[in-house]
Amino acid sequence: MGNCPAETTDTPDGDSPLSLAEELRDSARRIRELERVRVQLAHTLLNVQEACATTKDADHAQRLLSAAVRDLEDLDARLFEARTYHDSMESCGDALAS
């Protein structure tokens, strides 16, 4: 179990520890929120791409498109980290249960 996060972690306000089950619920909630934001960003990227096709300022359009792609890549990285963390927490839960 050496690679598992601690069985409990302090809450941001420092009051009480979170159980592994609570941490898994919070982690799943964070993943769902990131996935929701990712869908919104993907739609925004498509809208920007559409707008870029009709603009007269190609440089500005390219900067907007590049920024949208960068934001999506950053979010994908955060989503990957959140999923990896969640999977490791689930593995720890399985290890603790056995």
The type of residue at 86 is H
In this model, does residue 82 exceed pLDDT 90? yes
DSSP one-letter code for 4: S
DSSP assignment of 7-75, as one string? SSEE-TTSSSEEPHHHHHHHHHHHHHHHHHHHHHHHHHHHHHHHHHHH-S-HHHHHHHHHHHHHHHHHH
In this model, does residue 6 exceed pLDDT 60? no
More confident residue, 32 or 55: 32
Q: Which of 69, 73, 83 is nearest to 33 (CA)?
A: 83
